[in-house]
C-alpha cells in the first residue's frame, strides 16, 4: 500500500460523457501527478500539480483538465469522452516538486462504451 488513494476503482461510461477521477496523495506529499496507461500508448504523463499550482504538463488533451485543492487532493476531469480514452489512470504523489520518488495509487480503470 503506497498511501495514495484513488476513487473510483472502476468507471464505465458512454461516449460524450464527463467523469471526474479523484486522488488523495500520501500524507505530507505536496506534488500530485496524473498518468494514463493504455495498451497501445504505454504509461503517459499527463500533468503535475505542486501545492495547488500546475507545475508541469505532458500529453494532456484539451478535453482533460485537473486541479489540486487546498487540502492537496486532486481531481482529473475528462470530458467529451471517446472510446480511445478507455485506459487505466494513475495518480502518483511525491514530497517535493522535482522529479523524485513517486508513489503510485492503485489506479482508476475507465471504460468508455
Partner 1 sequence: QQPVQSPQAVILREGEDAVINCSSSKALYSVHWYRQKHGEAPVFLMILLKGGEQKGHEKISASFNEKKQQSSLYLTASQLSYSGTYFCGTAAGNMLTFGGGTRLMVKP
Residues of this chain that interact with partner 1 (CB under 8 A) are 2, 33, 42-45, 55-58, 90, 99-107
Q: Measured from the CB of residue 79, what is the shortest distance to partner 1 in angstroms?
A: 24
**Cβ count within 10 A of residue 5:** 15
Measured from the CB atom, is 30 or 56 closer to partner 1?
Answer: 56
Residue listed under C-alpha cell 498511501: 3
- What's the min distance (Å) between Cβ of 54 and partner 1? 10
C-alpha cell at 84: 480511445
State which residue, 46 or 78, has the beta carbon closest to partner 1.
Answer: 46
**Alpha-carbon separation of residue 77 from 20, 62, 100 (angstroms):** 5, 11, 25
Question: Do residues 110 and 86 make contact, with C-beta atoms less than 8 angstroms apart?
Answer: yes
Tell the smallest beta-carbon distance from residue 17 to partner 1 (Å).
Answer: 25
Judged by beta carbon, residue 56 or residue 79, the one nearer partner 1 is 56
Amino acid at each position: 500500500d503506497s498511501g495514495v488513494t484513488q476513487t473510483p476503482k472502476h468507471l464505465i461510461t458512454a461516449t460524450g460523457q464527463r467523469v471526474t477521477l479523484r486522488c488523495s496523495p500520501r500524507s505530507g506529499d505536496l506534488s500530485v501527478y496524473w498518468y494514463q496507461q493504455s495498451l497501445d500508448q504505454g504509461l503517459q504523463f499527463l500533468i503535475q500539480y505542486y501545492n495547488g499550482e500546475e507545475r508541469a504538463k505532458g500529453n494532456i488533451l484539451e478535453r482533460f483538465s485537473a486541479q489540486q485543492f487546498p487540502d492537496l487532493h486532486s481531481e482529473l476531469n475528462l470530458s467529451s469522452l471517446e472510446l480511445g480514452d478507455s485506459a487505466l489512470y494513475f495518480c502518483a504523489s511525491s514530497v517535493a516538486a522535482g522529479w523524485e520518488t513517486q508513489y503510485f495509487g492503485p489506479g482508476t480503470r475507465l471504460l468508455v462504451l
